[in-house]
Structure 1
């Protein structure tokens, strides 16, 4: 991979022209296995790194990914279509040599959403856009005020049962239209994590308690007549110190992990009210923006999130099972 740095530099320059919101550097894994491919004889090669990971039973990531994952991090320089096509062919041979599981396995490529030339190659090899990382860096002109139809408040430990119920409703729906996986122990895993979150009193990463009076990773509830109708589970990512922020620009970001409204209450403005409160909290903490993941195949969330001012930055392309890579 002698030309890896040249490929990376050319690729990053192209990314800057393609989408100014992309980060200044392309995230590469530590310890990845090198992969090299040629678009045609005599042409300089393209390259990449691959990883092979397994999620142990009972782990939280097993709720949003397969047990076995083969991931490719391409370095295609300024040849997005031909380079991606060649790498995917080489990636397919590599994955096949490892005898991937026939079930609960996947191949994964995360790539800038606006790079449609690379998208064509991914589609041709059988990948589907299961989820998107979307960002909101400005306040939209609509849907920013509380409607007053519900009360929005911070959740606490006594709300655990209602929070878990709403979080599970979102997971069950997402498993039908995206990358989430409904594991047998999902409710137990959710309850364990949410119990800790609701008890948390720490401040957001990167800012002091006096700069943010709400504290912790906020979980918001919408209720009417003391009946809980919706949930917004949020958090924080500081890209200067948090390993999960490498696909975002520099600064403190608000994160929307889960928005869930009772099925019989959807379309009444509850989701909008929850996000008005969440966005106000993000702004008060000095966040440079907010981000979330949504499923393009979901008939509800893309339209809602676009109206809230979010737009795709990275698309997560997958093939399930890994043996289906062509």
Structure 2
């Protein structure tokens, strides 16, 4: 069993990024790269990460990075992986993309790469909006959340990306959170040990976009898990297992009120919307529980 003290000390993300204070996606990438190691190439479409690496010719990343157009990350990774494998190289090809470039603009390339069986890891760090361009609404934005393009609150539900990916039957997929770095590290290590297309969906709270103080990033992430707004699990060859931090929430989730009230983006959410969100959480937890128990 790996403990936090056993995570490699090597740093592939230098402490000179252009990330916002309290940025959880850069924290996640730090642990992703620790798990992947130096023989890794990142494919990054337009997103916050394409900015926080710094201004050319300087960079805060200590692995090769290929910056690619919004819609093309998974297609680029397919060609890159095929090229490496044809030369007998086991180099890790990792797409690190936001929800805008995954749930919306890049979903066709993601689907194509998974259908082709590309040997790569696709990671979506989900801050539930287009963070890099001003926090516009994305398909991943939850019901009731304020964005710059939904100033009265979004009226549609968040797209269920995980069930879309699951329909492609990848050998491994998982969810993770910036609030639980050890869980994330283990899942990346496992994913990279499996051949074929892998997918990890990370919740990445965003202080300016979600409108909370930057020192509360980890607290917000943990609240999401404790309330069941975000469930940590992994599905290996079709078998789903709930991860440790979410086991308590599955049995006795906290009401979502504290999570909602901690974020300014939900300040316009009515009691009816909050009730809808709570009902959705309850149904999702029950669906995951049944799948983990083999009932469905």
What range describes the TM-score normalised by the shorter chain of this pair? 0.3 to 0.5
Normalised TM-score (structure 2): 0.32
More strand by share: 1
Larger RCO (CA under 8 A, 6+ residues apart): 1
Larger radius of gyration: 1
TM-score, reference length from structure 1: 0.30
Higher helix share: 2
